[in-house]
Structure 1
Amino acid sequence: MPQHNATEFIKKGEKEYLHHLSIDCVLFGYHDRHLKVLLLKWKDAEKWSLPGGFIRLDENLEQAATRILNERTGLDEIFLQQFQTFGEPGRSYRSKEDVAHLSTITNAAMGPDHWLLKRTVSIGYYAVTEYSKVNPQPDHLSDECTWCEIDAVPRLIFDHNLIFSEALKALRMQIYHQPIGYNLLPEKFTLPEIHDLYETILGKALDRRNFAKKIVSLGLIKKLNERKSIGAHRSPFLYKFDKRRYDKALREGMILAF
């Protein structure tokens, strides 16, 4: 993004955003048995971070998190889950080199009392989407926004590696209580495809037969009178989500034990 956008953000932030409180988003992306996370690369520097931002004075937390992810992905409807708050005293420390770099790319003089340099507590949100449908966009302070395999996440700024690992842990725990998959799979899918989705996110093998029995018994998916041809003598039945039951399970929770 042009420098003047970053400069404008710094100036507007003084009056338009809550200070000392931010949101960091861990957006997981799934596609074809790959799980990735969205990362930002700092402008003119080899530093990486999670997408995040500050809360406007007229926003609630979920509105702010939705806006932040929308600005990075263009997605309007995405299920967000708040999972933890990060508030160690030194978590947002910036070195003299960081401050000098930030001053350069924003064209703003930054003394020790500048609002952007003060201690900040961060609220963590995670979400999952189908990453092949997303065109990531960098923010005011970065020049790259891209997907990274979860096993190849580099060293991130501040405590963002901790935020990422805690988000992954929360996602894997929550997957047993809330359904996923509606926006991650084709409208019509096979049982092996939804099985592969859960295996990939959980990072472990799941017994195919037991998984299929459990996922069907919950009533979240319904069998169609259609088959998918994937080769000689292989035509598994197609399924689709029951949107009403899926949304109810999303609101009220469920128990999914494999």
Structure 2
Amino acid sequence: MPEFKSVNEFRLNGGKYFVPSVSIDCVIFGFHDNQLKVLLLKVVNYHGWGLPAGFIYKEEDIDAAAQRILQERTGLHDIFLQQFYIFGNANRCDNNITKIAFDNLQIKAKPNNWLLQRFLTVGYYALVDFKTVNASHDIFSEEFEWHDIDCLPTMAMDHGQIVQQALLTLRTHLRYEPVGYNLLPEKFTMPELQKLYETILGKKLDRRNFQRKMLSYDILKRLKQRREGVAHKAPYLYSFDLKKYSTALKDGFQSAW
């Protein structure tokens, strides 16, 4: 695989190596301070922010490309990654792609340059442990930041729409599949798990019904330890039974929320 040393080299020569007119955008969700957050990058020489994105090598499977892009952007690998939507609006790139790709850097390109063509993008979302992400900027970005899902900055192209579609899909999946592993610490309390679900769903849940429902799925192990340093009665700590969690992730729950 080639290693591009500059944006100019990538934009002028990348078409030799990548599948034309198809890209991948990754919505990377993390949970911190009871807030659902998304990892965004500051695009080089552009006022807006964007999603970690990339292209597919001509001999590369699309899921493998998504995993590679995620690892390049976050340092993480072998984590939950879900394809959720294809974005193909005819005007999704409009003049922004020209501005980002060439005008801001004063790069001259022929009208048929590969980055000036119409692009479809395949959306993936990832659920990651906020504390373990080791993002770093590259030739395409100036900086990375976590942003609250309800307070996003100005976004490039249709990336704001992609984030909202990813959130809608995550909410739908939450009703039939387990969520929590990679978003919570290894040990957590039932109120902490409930807060995660409430944050994703955007609504309050009944405490007793939530606990009964979660325990019925048989994916949790109650530990002997209790949470220390709390003002009221210390709640028990739980962890996920990863074998049962993986089975539920593959087969789904028998009953939805």
SS of 1:88's equivalent in the other structure is: coil
Contact 2:129 2:185 in 1 (8 A): no
Q: Please give the alpha-carbon distance, in whole angstroms, between the structure 2 residues aligned to 1:112 and 1:131.
A: 41
For 2:139 and 2:253, locate their aligned partners in 1 and report how far apart those are by CA, in whole Å. 40
Whether the aligned pair in 2 keeps the contact of 1:22 and 1:55 (CA below 8 Å) is: yes
Q: Name the CA distance, whole Å, in 2 between partners of 1:103 and 1:236.
A: 56
Cα distance in 1 between the residues matched to 2:100 and 2:184: 41
Corresponding residue SS for 2:167: helix
| 1:71 CA displacement | 1.0
TM-score (norm 2): 0.91
**TM-score, normalised via structure 1 length:** 0.91
1:112 to partner: Cα distance: 1.4
Secondary structure of the corresponding residue to residue 196 of structure 1: helix
RMSD of aligned Cα (Å): 1.9
Q: 1:167 to 1:62 in 2, by over 3 A?
A: same
Contact 1:103 1:110 in 2 (8 A): no
Percent of matched pairs sharing the same residue: 45
Count of residues paired in the alignment: 253
Secondary structure, aligned partner of 2:111: coil
Residue aligned with 1:151, SS = coil
Separation in structure 2 between the aligned mates of residue 219 and residue 134 of structure 1, nearest angstrom: 29
Show the 5 A alignment for 1:1-258. Answer: 4-94=5-95, 97-98=99-100, 100-104=102-106, 108-231=107-230, 234-255=233-254, 257-258=256-257
Between the aligned partners of 2:32 and 2:138, the Cα distance in structure 1 is 24
Aligned residue identity for 2:26: C
Runs of 4+ in structure 1 deviating by more than 6 angstroms, as ranges, are none
Give SS of 2:73's match: helix
**Cα distance change of structure 1 residues 256 and 187 upon mapping to structure 2, 3 Å threshold:** farther
Structure 1 residue runs of 5 or longer lacking an equivalent are: none
Deviation at 1:12, TM superposition (A): 4.5
Q: Unpaired segments of 5 or more residues in structure 2? A: none
Question: Would the aligned equivalents of 2:129 and 2:183 in 1 still touch at CA under 8 Å?
Answer: yes
Aligned residues of 1:176 and 1:255 also touching (Cα < 8 A): no
The question of whether the paired residues in 1 share the 8 Å contact of 2:81 and 2:125 is answered with yes
Q: CA deviation at 1:233?
A: 5.4
